[in-house]
Amino acid sequence: MTAQTTAISPMPPTRPSTSRRATARTNQGHRANHPASFLIPAFAVLGVFFFLPTIFNFVYALTDWSSFKSEIRFVGLQNFQDLISSGTLLSSLRITLVYAVLVAIFQNLFGLLLALLLERDTRINRFARVMFFIPVVMSALAAGYVFQAILKPDGAANAIIGAVVGHPVTIPWLGDTTWTLVVVALIHSWKWMGLSMLIYLAGLKTISEDVLEAARLDGASAWKTFRDIRFPLLAPALTFNVATALLGSMNGFDIVQATTGGGPARTTELLNIFVFRTFGQGLFAQATTMSLVLFVVVVALAFPVIRTLRKREEVL
Amino acid sequence: MNATTPISSPGRRRAVRPGGRDGVWRRVQPAVAILAVALLIGMPLWIVVVTAGKTQGEALNPDLSLPTTWQYAENFAAVWEQGRVPAAFFGSLLVMVPAVIGVLALGSLASWVLARRSSRLMAVLYALAISGIVLPPAVVTVVLLLRQLGLAGTAIGMIGVYMGMYMSTVIFFVTGFIRTIPIELEEAARVDGAGPLRVFGRIILPLLAPVLSTATILICLYVWNDVFYAFFVVGGRLDTLPLNLFQVASAGLYLDNWHLIFAYVVLMSLPLLVVFVVAQRKIISGITSGAVK
């Protein structure tokens, strides 16, 4: 491979045509060649460590399980009622959804801009791509602490802005009840934008040169070529990036915990931060209930999101 | 990525678009790229590196200035002790290595069958197997389950939880990849009288190297950096690097010990960064070839 990107190519695995052809032939008698018993170890692990706890989620959300007593009693929908009447459920849910949407927007915007900026295969661009991938490799917790330090009211960010505008600045980046959620979403996007960038770069590489050449000869401007040709052809990369950013940040924890811990005044308390906090207090049933809420919301969102994005691909 | 041919090469792109109107952008672009790297990546990393070498007083407000007295040795020694870095490093390895090997081995074996057999039942099983890619793990009740199994707070419990979480990712990537491998390759071995396990081990497994290396990278990244699930399953019982960073930082923020927090961040990030810098070409092309379908 001459450059890291030359090897990038669309991966054809899940194409139905290939699979149907391959599998149809096997089914003509040779079941023993691919014994179903080979599925057992993987499904045993999945069943015990993934599906069983998920089923438990539905059961224990209806109990009063806590660290304060040894007995676990069935209490019906009491946990849901408590969380709804205290307003915690709706506010955590709203915060999580806003956070996820903001991350999906920022991360894709930054990733796409970086991909377009670093598209050509020059030595500087290859170096820059590696640099932008460093945050992806770093621990999210560590990244969060770094930004907590930088964004303190008397921290480096305000010092630099102060030097530019000429007078001292003390913006409480992480202490605002409205805007801190946006700041934290920006940090989350900073951490993962390198991954989105790579995927957009791979997508850009798959666009045929002939199409772009034709557009150029027709006198299309760079912007028009991007809007009408290259962006629509990036649909598979966009699907992947939006779905992973949206669903990944729904399940977010590390960056918010490291920067704000859910504050100020619990305005950045994602569902997982709530789960973490109440679990630490020994309120296991409440934590389970919130964990179930997250599960249900992700399921409810995942299928429509993926279907809509896939449909968009087909139309284009 | 080896199974497919590259569609366009960058060399060709350069030849086709010499670009009259791109001329200005072409000259400005390297400067913009370097500026973006310096501002967005260089500055935060610089702050981490210089703050890790400062005294507590100087590190109160981490900034771009160099330390007046360099005390990397003292700071690293302090976190080495307080953050139990050796124990955490081996704790992280103890969990990551078996989890990754286990999930890849069991996942590929199942993927082979899922890719090669087609029936309604297999389709359902495949959908079930990959559902974990989007579904969030039930983090609270898994603790209860591990307690019932007698695995609470143990490395084995943690390994099982990570395997359960990433099995879907492995099955998704590997099943797709196996479908591109011609079945004739297997049939040749079968004619020679090889049993299914032998066919899998001798023929299929070696061909999976590219997709397994991509999956290894991704899962190592997630497991090595995970603090959320580790906190629930082994928090306080087993040292891992992120758990101990969390502990150092929780105490450190209270005491304004930024120099120690950043020294820990440097120590903790070094192993992954070294691996990444050494293998960056393979890692980057591996991840991108797996993602865009």
- Least CA distance to B138: which residue of chain A? A54
Q: List the CATH code of the domain at A38-315.
A: 1.10.3720.10
List the helix and strand counts (H, then E) for chain B: 16, 0
The mean pLDDT value of chain A amounts to 86
pLDDT at A315: 58
The yes-or-no verdict on residue B255 having pLDDT over 80 is no
* Rounded CA separation A121/B285 (Å): 14
B45 occurs within a structural domain: no
B98 occurs within a structural domain: yes
B122 occurs within a structural domain: yes
- Least CA distance to B259: which residue of chain A? A149
B5 occurs within a structural domain: no
Cβ–Cβ below 8 Å for B48 and A35: no
* Rounded CA separation B177/A36 (Å): 19
Cβ–Cβ below 8 Å for B7 and A213: no
B99 occurs within a structural domain: yes
- Least CA distance to A139: which residue of chain B? B225
What are the residue ranges of helices labelled H in chain A? Answer: 16-26, 40-46, 52-60, 78-85, 88-117, 123-137, 140-150, 156-165, 180-205, 209-217, 222-225, 231-233, 235-250, 254-259, 271-280, 284-315
ipTM: 0.86
Work out the pLDDT band at B22, boundaries 50, 70, 90.
low
B247 occurs within a structural domain: yes
CA of B239 vs chain A CAs: smallest distance (Å): 16
B114 occurs within a structural domain: yes
CB proximity A25 to B under 8 Å: yes
When CB atoms are compared, the residue of B37, B47, B109 closest to A156 is B47
Contacts of B16 in chain A (CB under 8 A): 209, 212-213
Q: What is the average per-residue pLDDT within B215-238?
A: 91
Of B193 and A44, the structure prediction assigns the larger pLDDT to A44
What whole-number percentage of chain A has pLDDT above 90? 48
pLDDT at A233: 87
B243 occurs within a structural domain: yes
The mean pLDDT value of chain B amounts to 86
Write out the two tokens for B163: 């395997």
Write phi, then psi, for A7 (nearest 5 degrees). Answer: -80, -10
The yes-or-no verdict on residue A89 having pLDDT over 70 is yes
Question: Of A4-13, A269-278, B94-103, B189-198, where does mean pLDDT reach its minimum?
Answer: A4-13
> What separation in angstroms does the CA of B233 have from each of A155, A313, B138, B258?
35, 40, 12, 28
CB proximity A297 to B under 8 Å: no
The yes-or-no verdict on residue B185 having pLDDT over 70 is yes
Work out the pLDDT band at B291, boundaries 50, 70, 90.
low
Cβ–Cβ below 8 Å for A288 and B140: yes
Q: What is the average per-residue pLDDT within A11-18?
A: 43
* Rounded CA separation A76/A54 (Å): 18
Cβ–Cβ below 8 Å for B138 and A57: yes
Write phi, then psi, for A120 (nearest 5 degrees). Answer: -70, 150
Q: What angle do CA A124, B18, A234 make, to 5 degrees?
A: 70
pLDDT at B112: 94
Side-chain half-sphere exposure of B291, counting CA atoms within 13 A: 27
When CB atoms are compared, the residue of A4, A41, A135 closest to B285 is A4
The yes-or-no verdict on residue A302 having pLDDT over 70 is yes
DSSP helix/strand/coil, B36 = helix
CA of B227 vs chain A CAs: smallest distance (Å): 7
> What separation in angstroms does the CA of B175 have from each of A109, A286, B188?
31, 38, 21
Q: How many domains does chain B have?
A: 1
Q: What is the average per-residue pLDDT within A59-81?
A: 88
Do the beta carbons of residue A260 and residue A188 sit within 8 Å? no
pLDDT at A169: 85
Work out the pLDDT band at A308, boundaries 50, 70, 90.
confident
Cβ–Cβ below 8 Å for B285 and A8: yes
- pLDDT tens sequence across A154-166: 888 888 889 899 8
Contacts of B288 in chain A (CB under 8 A): 5, 8, 198-199, 201-202
A232 Cβ contact list (under 8 Å, min separation 6): A316
Work out the pLDDT band at B191, boundaries 50, 70, 90.
confident
- Least CA distance to B122: which residue of chain A? A36
The residue segments making up the domain with residue B153 are 83-255
The yes-or-no verdict on residue A59 having pLDDT over 70 is yes
Q: What is the average per-residue pLDDT within B142-166?
A: 94
The yes-or-no verdict on residue A293 having pLDDT over 90 is yes
- pLDDT tens sequence across A178-228: 899 999 999 999 999 999 999 999 888 888 888 888 888 888 888 888 888
pLDDT at A17: 45
Q: What is the average per-residue pLDDT within A63-85?
A: 88
CATH number at residue B214: 1.10.3720.10
